Amino acid sequence: GGKNGGRNGLVAVAIDKDKSSQYALRWAIDNLVAKGQTIILIHVVRNSSNCKDDSGVNDLVETTSADVESLDDHTRQIFVTFHCFCTRKDINCFNVVLEDADISRAIVEYVAHAAIENLVLGASRHGFLRKLKMVDVPNSICKASPDFCTAYVISRSKISSVRNASRAAPFTSPLQLHQTQKTIGTSLSSSTCPIPRHMSTARGIERTPLKPHFDDGDSLNCNRSPFCKIRGHSPSMLPDLHESDSDISFVSSNRPSTDTCMDLNFDGTDSWRNSNASTSSESSFGSSTRSWTKFSELSSGTDFSSSSLENDDGEAEMRRLKIELQKTMEMYSTACREALTAKHKAVELHRWRVDEERRLEEARSAEESARMAVELEKAKYKAALEDAQAARRVAELESRKRLSAERRALQDSNEMGLNATPLRYRRYTIEEIEEATMFFSESLKIGEGGYGPVFKCHLDHTPVAVKVLRPDAAQGKIQFHQEVEVLSCLRHPNMVLLLGACPEYGCLVYEYMAKGSLEDRLIRRGNTQPLSWQVRFRIAAEVATGLQFLHQTKPEPLVHRDLKPANILLDQNYVSKISDVGLARLVPPSVADDVTQLRLTSAAGTFCYIDPEYQQTGMLGVKSDVYSFGIVLLQLLTGKPAMGLTHAIDQAIEKGNLAEALDPSVPCWPMEEASRMAKLALQCAELRRKDRPDLGKVVLPELNKLREIGDEDA
């Protein structure tokens, strides 16, 4: 509950010298009482005559006047600790001391007759109570309290149980009236409280109505310190404030107290201190008797002996003791703060030490990991160097065998007169080509190949593309003759058809591809429509089919060496065909199985599409085309340039955002199929040949499955 509860009625806390009372007071101040308000502290002194203690044994003690004074001092000590805490919280206090053999009955009847609307009790230790078969006093009070009083039982600063009030108080408490009158300047010397008249009648004590006594004299307004009421008593009377008895938060701070500690005193007889207590029967109370005893104020004529309080020396001694007590409490507070500061510093130092040890251990682990990584890299480097040396020796051996075979073949061809073999292609004159191209007009130029420009024209009433070899291309003429001879015998649906040639002037006549190159379509040159994913899947399968045809050429396989989107042409129906086979070289059959390789002196083709091992060693194989094909597949998926594309797609797959890397101009990519194609492309683009998949056994079957999915969706 909030603090509104405290403003709706008086708040009382039952206290004793235990931790549960401290928890109860702390909770009441935090939840029921605001700063500047007053809280009532109730303490019950059990009668020492014929009274059973908590263990059930009669406590028979002979009571004398000195015993009464001692009991009074002990009660004062209990209040000191709670006054300290109230002082720190700017809360005023009323002290109420009840004397009875039955604690529960005393508190319940006082609450009923003083109209207390909020009662806070500390919880008992239930395990200890069960062991000793004792009564749970807080819960007994909670159950027996009047129906206009809300009773809280607090256990470790939390509500253990609560019994809410069912109605308002039947009358206004005299304590509340006293506070109101005091606020507006009305001094009340006394007021009558409906205190029960059924007081003890044992040993001649009269039944007299009780009056709560409010004294606003200077001697009772404890504005200086909650210890101001302990006059005429030695410092040994002060409570032991070590941790076992009271929480450190209950110790007064070194600031001046602003609390007003007021004692509410009840007395069953006006002069019980002066009664004769020489015998046990005269000084003890009956086991069933009950009185509300006046806990004396330190004003003159109300407490202690009159002669001691009127003594000037006693007053001076009391002032000196108060000053010493204040200094002692200040020193104690300072010592507590220093102890807490030292403890915090020790904890921080320990934490810093643990962190340093952890960082040191992490550094050691990182150093060990780095050392192991270096050793592993050294081993890998040594193994790679040995593999490269072995491959170089094999390549040199195969190169010598190749040269020997070429010499024998040349000799055999000369002997057999192969030079007289008739041409296997249509031969055009330069005049026919010049007439068709309007003397190589720039308006008919449709592209620039690796070895010269390409023109669109008509020959024999057929649209064709004429590729003209540049005169300054030193390597071009040799390559030209090779391309004519190779392409003249190649016939495949996914290979550009060679229609004819003009050998004298280095002109090749190809079938015309209406949709241009795959590169133009990927970048949408001329603002053309983007290729759908179905068409891209089909193009991938068609290019793989044409490439497989080259690699299966008899008697020796062909390696394209310059496969890229610019060399893949599309006809009117977007059927793809491979062009520019002029860079291909005849290689031994053993190249097909990645065992025998040919060492070349220079790398041809575009840099991003060339096999990395071919660039490093000059050794060519059919899997060099597989690498280039992997890059082409990635471009089909993304529509982006080849530079750095493998790394970008690999990172996208690893992070799970492949969809962001796909060509955004294509709607509704099938992510599962696109992911399969991307992973296949990355396998084809592996740096080492032995890590690349076989074109005919792995790549082509997978692409055919993807093409079938695209055909079904279309």
The residues carrying an active-site annotation are: 562
Measuring CA to CA, which residue among 616, 590, 638 is closest to residue 687? 616
* Rg, C-alpha atoms of the chain: 54
Cβ contact 68:102 at 8 Å? no
Burial 117-148 (b: 16+ CB within 10 A, else e): bbbbbbbbeeeeeeeeeeebbbbbbbebbbeb
With a CB cutoff of 8 Å and minimum separation 6, the contacts of 230 are: 76, 80, 237, 238, 298
Residue 613: Cβ within 10 Å count: 21
Q: Tokens 């056994």 map to which residue?
A: 697
Tokens of 327: 């200094």
**Quick check: helix, strand or coil at residue 452?**
strand
d(CA 462, CA 700): 33
- Kindly provide the residue ranges of all beta strands, DSSP E only, lying in 198-357, ordered along the sequence: 261-264, 290-291
d(CA 32, CA 88): 16
d(CA 81, CA 17): 9
Provide the 8-state DSSP code for 366: H
d(CA 95, CA 104): 18
Measuring CA to CA, which residue among 170, 153, 171 is closest to residue 162? 153
Q: Is 175 exposed, middle or buried, given 0-12, 13-18 or 19+ CB atoms closer than 10 A? A: buried
Say which amino acid occupies 581.
Answer: V
DSSP collapsed to 3 states, 105-156: HHHHHHHHHHCCCEEEEECCCHHHHHHHCCCCHHHHHHHHCCCCCEEEEEEC
Q: Which helix (H) or strand (E) holds 213?
A: none
Cβ contact 88:253 at 8 Å? yes
Burial 260-272 (b: 16+ CB within 10 A, else e): bbbbbbbbbbeeb
**Quick check: helix, strand or coil at residue 269?**
coil
Question: Alpha helices of 456-578 — where are they, by DSSP H?
Answer: 476-488, 518-522, 533-551
**Quick check: helix, strand or coil at residue 456?**
strand
Burial 180-207 (b: 16+ CB within 10 A, else e): eebeeeeeeeeeebebeeebbebeebee
Cβ contact 42:96 at 8 Å? yes
d(CA 612, CA 624): 8
